[in-house]
């Protein structure tokens, strides 16, 4: 089955700076890569996703890049704000399947 | 995004009793729903895939007789934790895909077994 690794496990960034979280996956047939943000005690929220036919996607301050050859994808948050502090999870699906395998999570702290 | 509800949001039960958790897709139909378990400061671990009209598919190591799943309709899946024990205490979250891979999560149920 799919295996997803995520780094770093914790990340502290000065407010206004950029944050980058990286994930690698093992199944070359995976074709869907979402990112979720989870605040303490709350549900994971889908913040951005990318499909295998696209190399980059951007939504305001958030962007995701995908390198299919290297089997890795990254989340980029620019102009970070205190409300960006949360745990972020990457995930990858099984090909032709909606089942997701999640990374271990990154605890992002924005320092005011 | 799509809306998924979950009930109850928290429950405390005594060891040996059973607890039922409901997951509903409110504005879309879901032939498939997923049940996850999340321990503090850990990632989401898939427990099982709930399939409308057929048996659930359980992940390796998950006891199907302990975690009963019923997908009663296109908008409702239930997870019953049978004969709960303190080690079953956790945050249980369901999710439903919208049909284009996007998956939305319920608010979760915090189960505490005393």
- What are B55's two structure tokens? 């048996």
To the nearest whole angstrom, how far is the Cα of A5 from the nearest Cα of chain B?
Answer: 11
Q: B103 vs A34: CB contact, 8 Å cut-off? A: yes
Count of CB atoms situated within 10 Å of the CB of A61: 13
Q: What is the DSSP string of A43-112?
A: --EEEEEEETT-SEEEETTEEEEEETTTTEEEEEE-S--GGG-EEEEEEEEPTT---EEE---EEEEEE-
Q: What is the Cβ-side half-sphere exposure of residue A54, based on CA atoms within 13 angstroms?
A: 12
Q: Which of B56, B60, B65, B66 is nearest to B94 (CA)?
A: B56
Residues B32 and B40 sit within 8 Å (Cβ to Cβ):
no
Task: From first to last of the 114 residues of chain B, give the pLDDT tens digit.
Answer: 789 999 999 999 999 999 999 999 999 999 999 999 999 999 999 999 999 989 999 999 999 999 999 998 999 999 999 999 999 999 999 999 988 888 999 999 999 999
Separation in Å, CA of A99 to nearest CA in chain B: 8
Task: Say yes or no: B108 contacts chain A, CB-CB below 8 A.
Answer: yes
Read off the pLDDT of residues A16-34 as tens digits, 9 standing for 90 and up: 999 999 999 999 899 999 9
Which of B34, B46, B107 lies nearest to residue A43, judging by beta carbons? Answer: B107
d(CA A16, CA A12): 12
Cβ contacts of B110 on chain A, cutoff 8 Å: 41
Cα distance from B70 to chain A (closest Cα, Å)?
Answer: 18
């Amino acid at each position: 089955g799919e295996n997803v690794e995520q780094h770093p496990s914790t990340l502290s960034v000065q407010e206004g700076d950029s944050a980058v979280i990286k994930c690698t996956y093992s199944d070359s047939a995976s074709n869907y890569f979402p990112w979720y943000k989870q605040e303490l005690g709350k549900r994971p929220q889908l913040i951005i996703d990318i499909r295998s036919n696209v190399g980059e996607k951007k939504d305001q301050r958030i962007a995701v890049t995908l390198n299919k050859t290297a089997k890795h994808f990254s989340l980029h948050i620019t102009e970070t704000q205190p409300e960006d502090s949360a745990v972020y999870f990457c995930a990858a699906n099984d090909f032709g399947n909606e089942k997701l395998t999640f990374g271990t999570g990154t605890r992002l702290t924005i320092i005011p | 995004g799509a809306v998924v509800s979950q009930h109850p949001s928290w429950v405390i039960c005594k060891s040996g009793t059973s607890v039922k958790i409901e997951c509903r897709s409110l504005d879309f139909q879901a032939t498939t729903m997923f049940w996850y378990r999340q321990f503090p400061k850990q990632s989401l671990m898939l427990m099982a895939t709930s399939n409308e009209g057929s048996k659930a598919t359980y992940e390796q190591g998950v006891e199907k007789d302990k975690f009963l799943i019923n997908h009663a309709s296109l908008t409702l899946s239930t997870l019953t934790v049978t004969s709960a024990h303190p080690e079953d205490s956790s945050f249980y979250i369901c999710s439903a895909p919208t049909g284009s891979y996007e998956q939305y999560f319920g608010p979760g149920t915090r189960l505490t077994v005393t």
